[in-house]
A = this chain, B = another copy of it.
Amino acid sequence: MTAFANKSAMKFSDVVQRLGISLEHSSLGFNPDLDPSLESVMAVDEAKPGTISYIDGAKFAAQVATTAASALILPKNHALQTAASDRGIAWLETAEPRLLFAQAIALFYQPFQPAPEIHPTAVIHPTATIGESVYIGAHVVIQAGVAVGNHACIHPNVVIYPDVQIGDRTVLHANCTIHERAQIGADCVIHSGTVVGAEGFGFVPTPQGWYKMQQSGYVVLEDGVEVGCNAAIDRPAVGETRIGKQTKLDNMVHIGHGCHIGFGCAFAAQVGLAGGVEVGNRVILAGQVGVANEATLGDGAIASSKTGVHGNVAAGEIVSGYPCVDHKTYLKSSAIYSRLPEMYQTLKKLQKRIEELEANA
């Protein structure tokens, strides 16, 4: 654990202060002597002495009675707080335990960040421009006309095709590929193996077979976009494929050519968007959702896992199923699904009984 050991330990009171919690909203308000030294952050069911953890939701509440954590982030729940105090566990109170937990991790954990360097094995075209304090790892290839911003971090074996722009502080993880003309904003993270800006899947059927439509467009990732591992975002025949600010895509997400995605969206793993999809802002797509060509999703729309979206989903709508319907309808219909054989039998019996009634009438 040489390269990115956790930062050094700190007192619970320091943690409380750094997280912006007042002493009155922590066990220190009642017992200023209970101020354990903390070394790291752990899950409540795996926590050891000298660590801080958190509790959020009924599922984990019972863990207050058994956890070995020395400190806990708790919701505004007097019973939980008392139970923690009774066991000598320091605690702090917040309306957002999961958010505070995330902030606590950031206090203790130092992510791996290589020092600025241009490795001698990197192959950089003389027409490329490289910003200040950049890390370019071993065997990176940067083609003609590329512009890399300041403090960018390009991990080993990344390949960047011509005329790409990489914004300030953006991180490209190992073995990913950025294709010609892509424009990647500032503070983006592209995870390992991902491909940005490759040719969209454009083939026109003819009697002689597929005619390849050249993909003359490009991909734009606005500031703060993150893309998971082994994903792919394709460029279109003309114009651009665009991912809005702060939108987050998980592993193996496929974004087809000419999609336009708003800001603040989150797409879980293995989501796939066909071509020309229009997605508003703050849209959530759960795992393995598929969206058909030219479909649209309005601001704040949500699709649950494995949903198949066709046509238009209105702003704020929650959809499920394949083909998708309103989520509440889906819940009702899918609950009936397993009773279909029973319904079928009932129907047959009723039919017979009606025939008997009709015969007797």
Residues of chain A touching chain B, judged by Cβ–Cβ distance below 8 Å, are 1-4, 6, 40-43, 46, 59, 96, 98-99, 101-103, 105-106, 108-109, 111-112, 119, 121, 123, 127, 137-139, 141, 143-145, 155-157, 159, 161-163, 173-177, 179-181, 191-195, 198-199, 201-204, 206, 209-214, 216, 226, 228-232, 234, 237-239, 246, 248, 250-252, 254, 256, 258, 264, 266, 268-270, 272, 274, 287-288, 290, 292, 294, 305-306, 308, 321-323, 325-326, 329-330, 332-341, 343-344, 346-347, 350-351, 353-354, 357-358, 360-361
Contact = CB atoms under 8 A, between A and B. Distances in A.
Contacts of A360: 361
22 contacts: A3-B162, A4-B163, A40-B216, A41-B238, A111-B214, A138-B139, A159-B175, A192-B198, A209-B246, A210-B248, A210-B264, A230-B231, A250-B254, A252-B254, A256-B269, A270-B290, A274-B305, A290-B306, A333-B339, A337-B340, A343-B343, A357-B361
Nearest to A124: B138
Given A123-B138, A194-B230, 17 more contacts: A3-B145, A3-B180, A106-B214, A141-B174, A159-B192, A175-B195, A193-B195, A212-B226, A228-B232, A230-B231, A252-B254, A287-B290, A306-B308, A329-B341, A343-B347, A354-B357, A357-B361
Nearest to A335: B341
Given A42-B239, A210-B264, A329 B333 contact: no
A10 to B, nearest CB: 15
Given A239-B46, A357-B361, A112 B333 contact: no
Nearest to A240: B46
Number of copies: 3
A357 to B, nearest CB: 6
B163 A2 contact: yes
